[in-house]
Amino acid sequence: MKSVVIEQPGELVLADRPLPAPAAGEVRVKVQFASICGSDVHIWHGHNPFAKYPRVIGHEFFGLIDAVGEGVDASRVGERVAVDPVVSCGHCYPCSIGRPNVCKELQVIGVHRDGGFSEFAVAPAKNAFRLPASIPDKLASMVEPFTIAANITAFLKPQPNDIALIYGAGPMGLTAIQVLKGVYGVEQVLVVDRLPERLALAQENGADRVFNNSDIPLAAQLEGVQPTLIIDAACHPSILAESAALASPAARIGLLGFSGEPCSITQQALTSKELSLFTSRLNSNRFPQVIEWMEKGLIQPEKLVTHYFPLAEIERAMTLFEKDPRTCCKVILHMG
C-alpha cells in the first residue's frame, strides 16, 4: 500500500509499505479521505516533540472498515467510519475521569503511531465511529478538527449572551466560530487575525465582527467592548496577557496553543477580574457529539475546505497548506 512516511525530520516520501493486519481489538480502515492539519506539517519539519520517526502521518481521516482483528464484531466490515486519533490506556487517572486525551500513556494516531495518510490504517475498534449516510464521504475527515472546538467549548460553556472573541481565523478558529454560533447560539462572535482573506472566511463561517490587528492593536479597535469568553486559536504566547487585559471581569479564557515559549502575565491580571483559564488538547470522546452536530446541520464543514488533492500530490498539498494561508484553509487528500 502507498503511505506518506516522514522518514526523519524534513524527509517526506510516498512509500510502499506492507498492508498492516489489525491486532486484537483493532479494525483496519481502507482510507478514502484525509485532511491535512498544522501538526502534520510540524512532524514533517521536526517540530513536534512527541513524534517518533519514521512515521506515517495523518490523524484526520475517514474510510471503510475492511478487516477486523480478534474479538471485533465481523459485521463491522464495510462500515463507514471516522477515526478518533486519541488512543488511551483506559485505566490511569485521566482515563478514569473521562479525559483520555491526556492519558498518561497517550498514543495519538499519526503522531505516536502510524496514521491515515495511507491507503490503509489500523486503529482500535472503539476509535472507529460509524457515520450516518447524511455525512458525505468527502467531508467526513472533518469530524476530527471540529472535535477540537467541541472540547474547548465544553470547558467554556458558552451562553447566548456571551461576547466571544476568537484569536486566529485558521481552521481551529473557524471551527470554533461555527460551534459558538451554530451549536451554542452565541449572539456576538468577534474574530481577530492579520490576514484579510482569513477574516473574510471568518465572516463566511459566521463571525459577527472581524478585526485586523496587523497595524492597529485590538484594544484600540474594541472601543471598550469587553469579551466574556475568549479562545486563543492563534496560539502565540503573547495572547494570554492581551486576553486577560481585554477580558470582562468573570470572563473565561480557553487556550489551545502548544508553544514552548514562556508567556508573561501577572497573578493580578488574572485574579483581579477572577478570570477562569481553561486549556484543551485534542478531544475527549467528542466524536459522537460532532457527528450529531453535522447530522443536524448545526455546523458546515464544507465552509472550511478549499482544496482536494490525490494522495500522490501530498508534497504539493502540504506545501500549499503551509505556505499559502491566504487562499488555502482545509486541504483534503483523496486516496482512491
Find the shortest distance in angstroms from Cβ 170 to Zn ion.
Answer: 11
For residues 95 and 166, which CB has a smaller minimum distance to Zn ion in the complex? 95
**Angle at the Cα of 146 from the Cα atoms of 245 and 212, rounded to 5 degrees:** 40
Containing 122, the helix (H) or strand (E) segment is strand 120-124
In the set 15, 89, 277, 298, which binds Zn ion (CB under 5 A)? 89
For residues 175 and 205, which CB has a smaller minimum distance to Zn ion in the complex? 175
Find the shortest distance in angstroms from Cβ 15 to Zn ion.
Answer: 22
Residue 88 binding Zn ion, by CB under 5 A: yes
Find the shortest distance in angstroms from Cβ 59 to Zn ion.
Answer: 6
Find the shortest distance in angstroms from Cβ 38 to Zn ion.
Answer: 7
Cβ within 8 Å of residue 293, ≥6 positions away: 146, 150, 179, 182, 183, 299
Q: Write out the DSSP string of 73-115.
A: -GGGTT-EEEE--EE--SSSHHHHTT-GGG-TT-EEBTTTB--
Find the shortest distance in angstroms from Cβ 142 to Zn ion.
Answer: 10
Residue 95 binding Zn ion, by CB under 5 A: yes
Residue 175 binding Zn ion, by CB under 5 A: no
C-beta of residue 140 within 8 angstroms of C-beta of residue 82: yes
C-beta of residue 225 within 8 angstroms of C-beta of residue 243: no
In the set 92, 195, 200, 328, which binds Zn ion (CB under 5 A)? 92
Which part of the chain contacts Zn ion (CB under 5 A), choosing from 84-92, 114-122, 291-299, 303-311? 84-92
In the set 12, 86, 103, 150, which binds Zn ion (CB under 5 A)? 103
Containing 175, the helix (H) or strand (E) segment is helix 171-178
Find the shortest distance in angstroms from Cβ 54 to Zn ion.
Answer: 20
Look at the chain and count its residues.
336
Q: Pattern 23-42, binding to Zn ion, x per CB under 5 A?
A: --------------x-----
Cβ within 8 Å of residue 69, ≥6 positions away: 21, 22, 23, 24, 25, 26, 27, 28, 122, 125
Question: Where along the sequence are the contacts to Zn ion (CB under 5 A)?
Answer: 37, 88-89, 92, 95, 103
